Amino acid sequence: MTIRKQTRTRARPGTGGGGRYYRVEVRPKGGFEIFRYHDVGRPGHVKRLAGKRPTGTWADAAWLISKTDAHVTNGVLVADTPGARKVLQDIGPATLVSGSLFRGHPRKNVPERAKPTPAQHRARAQNIRKAQAARRTRGS
């Protein structure tokens, strides 16, 4: 029986045998207490690393993209499959930090001149309708 050492941290980039995933960090890990992996799409291809904040909310901490689903070109991670392409579109260009570690963005950067976005318009209209309906039911 082989006993494996259990570690609380991951191996540093470039120190192991290559690994099977590219890691794209979108938020610093210091802001989270607990982490969970979720397979997104087909098992073993794209994984989402969700972190729980001290407030109790969950957010994306990092994404793991299989090395069979993407490749590196000029220090940028480029998707080869539709699943990886969708993730990389959402988190922006993933730039190489070291080894197989990349840095992405937690959400799309929307310039101020493009705001309010159509989603913000819809949300505001929906909130107004809810407030009006509540006022009508209270008044009768």
SS3 at position 78: strand
Task: Return the domain boundaries, the chain.
Answer: 21-103, 110-140
Q: What is the pLDDT of residue 99?
A: 86
Per-residue pLDDT band at 26 (split at 50, 70, 90): very high
| 77 CB burial (10 A radius; 0-12, 13-18, 19+) | buried
Flag whether pLDDT at 2 surpasses 80. no
Mean pLDDT of 47-60: 92
Q: What is the pLDDT of residue 63?
A: 92
Q: Is the pTM of this model over 0.75?
A: no
